[in-house]
Amino acid sequence: MKTIDELLHEGVEGKRVFVRADLNVPLDGTTITDDGRIRAVVPTIEALADAGARVVVASHLGRPKGAPDPAFSLAPAAARLGELLGAEVAFATDTVGDSATETVAGLGNGQVAVLENLRFNPGEASKDDAERGAFADRLAALADLYVGDGFGAVHRKHASVYDLPARLPHAAGHLIATEVGVLKKLTDDVQRPYVVALGGAKVSDKLGVIDHLLEKADRILIGGGMAYTFLKAQGHEVGISLLQEDQIPAVQEYLARAKERGVEFVLPVDVLVASEFPDLKTKAPANPTTVAADAIPADEEGLDIGPETRKLYASKLADAATVFWNGPMGVFEHPDYAEGTKAVAQALVDSPAFTVVGGGDSAAAVRTLGFDENAFGHISTGGGASLEYLEGKTLPGLAALED
């Protein structure tokens, strides 16, 4: 895989460089609530601009249905990128139309432009190869070179991720090179003990990675909404907690395989419960109670791991040499249910291990809860991409950058 350093060595002055970034940031109206993904691509954009390239940045945001939707405009992300670069960033109000063509044509050496949301064009995410290819052809007309740096999108077979690199000389940006290097430390060159902490809502989202990690990890900690399917699989009642009944046979199989292979599976011993889901807008006090994990009342739901589980998980992380964490331990967006996620984050901060926060809600939680990002070995920008890499899948966006 060619890197941006090689591209810069060859020279990019005066050339139009298309940077596929991941500016898919959370928005409250037009206010960005977490700019981590924008900050992550700044080193690549700065390096190209400083070398005299005419930088064309493109990304998706959210899930618009192949047509313009003001709620998913990249305008706020373009404005924030300009603030971080300390330079004006031009913004095209379309992807391959007149505005994009004129905006790119107006760039001087070292200047940067952002195109409107790629998913406003149906060709970006089309399952039809010809439709995707036609859109990629139009994008290719805007550039001389391609740099892939949107790690959060490399697991998507989309036009700007998969088809466009085949049409232009291409290289991997700094972010993708870093992300891949980190993930190799979790797959090819693992320092042990290797401990994995998995949370989040649905166990179905994590089955593939659990299956693969049973061959790699020494210990797996389970929290979040997915924990209640595990507890149910062990024969415990879980009240009205989030439950995927159809996944119980798979979970039982994984628990049995873990036992056979000597992989330690650690489940909550106590949980915080309430009779209704908390109000995440007002953050009104929820007044949860703590119960044993095998004694959840029939009319209540588990919303966070309890204090004894926090201590247990901290102890299970303390001796690790490598830690991968993906998924919060509870409804961290509400202060009454944030302590479990906070405890796991703090355990990673306190650990001398190589620690990786696997993107998505985990990365958002780290920032929301006020942790110093530099206290972790690495915070990924791609939750889904990280998980699919750890599952051993071929990621289209990475395969497209290989020569």
For this structure, is 316 an active site residue? no
DSSP string of 302-315?
EEEE-HHHHHHHHH
Q: Which of 360, 382, 383, 397 is catalytic?
A: 360
Can you tell me the distance from the alpha carbon of 52 to that of 110, in angstroms, rounded to the nearest whole number?
4
Q: Which two tokens stand for residue 124?
A: 């970006």
Whether 384 is catalytic: yes
Q: For residues 258 and 266, is the Cβ–Cβ distance under 8 A? A: no
Instruction: Give me the catalytic one of 2, 202, 257, 367.
Output: 202
Q: Is 292 helix (H, G, I), strand (E, B) or coil?
A: strand
Q: Which of 15, 16, 20, 37 is catalytic?
A: 37
Asked whether the beta carbons of 199 and 327 are under 8 A apart, the reply is: yes
Residues 6+ apart with CB under 8 A from 63: 72, 119
54 catalytic, yes or no? Answer: no
Secondary structure class of 160 (helix, strand, coil): helix
192 is catalytic: no
Please state, in angstroms and rounded to a whole number, the distance separating the CA atoms of residues 375 and 351: 10
How many Å apart are CA 132 and CA 191, to the nearest integer?
A: 41
Could you tell me if 29 and 3 are in contact, meaning their C-beta atoms sit under 8 angstroms apart? no
Our measurement of the distance from residue 18's CA atom to the centroid of its chain's CA atoms, rounded to an integer in Å, reads 22
Give catalytic residues, as residue numbers.
37, 202, 360, 384
